[in-house]
Amino acid sequence: MTNLSPTLTLASGVEMPQVALGTWPMVEQECERAVRSAFDLGYRHVDTAENYENEAPVGKAVRESGIDRSELFVTTKFNRKWHGDAAAGARGNLERLGLDYVDLLLIHWPNPDQDLYVKAFETLIELKEQGLARAIGLSNFKPAHIERILAATGVTPDVNQIEMHPYYDRAAEREYHASKGITTEAWSPLGRDNGLREEAAIKDLADKYGKTPSQVILRWDIDLGAATAPKSGNPGRQAENLDLFDFSLTPEEIAELSKLQAGPAAEPMQDSDVFGH
Ligand SMILES: NC(=O)c1ccc[n+]([C@@H]2O[C@H](COP(=O)([O-])OP(=O)(O)OC[C@H]3O[C@@H](n4cnc5c(N)ncnc54)[C@H](OP(=O)(O)O)[C@@H]3O)[C@@H](O)[C@H]2O)c1
């Protein structure tokens, strides 16, 4: 097996593979096939969610992988309706996955209109103590939301998974996370299909390093110390997205990419499970 992703040490001490396979919007057999091929290629981290309606095929691929469960890292998330009863939400995650525990359980969106995310996080702390989640965290939370969680619980969320790519570099959020010991994880790290790969600055760096534009974009996450969850259902592109560890960008190149603000975000930020993936 070649090219396993290195790991990041989360606030709770758990080791998390830095590169995850994103799975939205794949479902059913397409999803199961994609997760199997990713594991064959050396991925050990898979990102799913209740909202993606693919926890069952992800769980099946995990259970039937032949890889020891302790070597795999499964991230999932629950929807807004569970904020008042996150234990029930997590039971649903585990049932659909067919697993006894997940490695990282995230509150998918803060949904501040409900004002229940602090309660949800308090329950995540209990679920972690019960061994149902090895690490716990957030997704799409803003610093003000995280401040409330820290003040109420004193427990550092392991991860905040947010939209992040060179067009939307999230410098302020990353700095805030780092100051609190929270690991940043990028969703839509390739900018989905927003034209980023065509940027001259990215193509030039791809030529310089003998890599592809996608690899340059993903290396930007790695060099910033973020975890990253590129989605591909194609084994060739999955392999490409994991083959990031034989080059690195200079601080000047990282800054140059971070300045690429010309394109729109892949989608506007919105606290809604209807909209969010
Ligand atoms: N927490 C949240 O709220 C949230 C929100 C959105 C997404 N996510 C997670 O983040 C993951 C990734 O985000 P995303 O799917 O929005 O976008 P993405 O990973 O930035 O981009 C995926 C797109 O890029 C293509 N692609 C992948 N690798 C490529 C390569 N090497 N060269 C050329 N094209 C490539 C894929 O097509 P192919 O499959 O055909 O290769 C797909 O169309 C999701 O799958 C999900 O797990 C989380």
pTM metric for this prediction: 0.95
Is residue 117 within 8 A of residue 111, CB to CB? The reply is yes
Rounded to 5 degrees, φ, ψ at 224 are: -85, -5
Q: What letter does residue 18 receive in the DSSP assignment?
A: S
Give the Å distance between the CA of 175 and the centre of ligand 1: 24
Integer Cα distance of 115 and 276 in angstroms: 18
Domains by residue range for the chain, with CATH: 7-190+225-232 (3.20.20.100)
The structure tokens 């716990």 sit at: 136
**135, 126, 131, 52: which is closest to 99 by C-alpha?**
131
Ligand 1 pocket, residue 233 CB under 6 Å: yes
Is residue 164 within 8 A of residue 192, CB to CB? The reply is no
Model pLDDT for residues 113-145, shown as the tens digit of each residue? 999 999 999 999 999 999 999 999 999 999 999
Give the Å distance between the CA of 23 and the centre of ligand 1: 8
pLDDT for the residue 3: 56
pLDDT for the residue 193: 82
Residue 2 confidence (pLDDT) above 90: no
Pocket test for ligand 1, best of 24, 140, 194, 217 (most atoms within 8 A of CB): 24
- Rounded to the nearest angstrom, the gap between the alpha carbon of residue 187 and the centroid of all alpha carbons in its chain is 5
Is residue 257 within 8 A of residue 219, CB to CB? The reply is no
- Position 97, amino acid: L
pLDDT for the residue 168: 94
> Which ligand 1 atom sits closest to the C-alpha of 276?
3
- Position 131, amino acid: G
pLDDT for the residue 4: 84
Q: Where are the beta strands (DSSP E) in 40-176?
A: 45-47, 73-78, 102-107, 133-139, 159-163
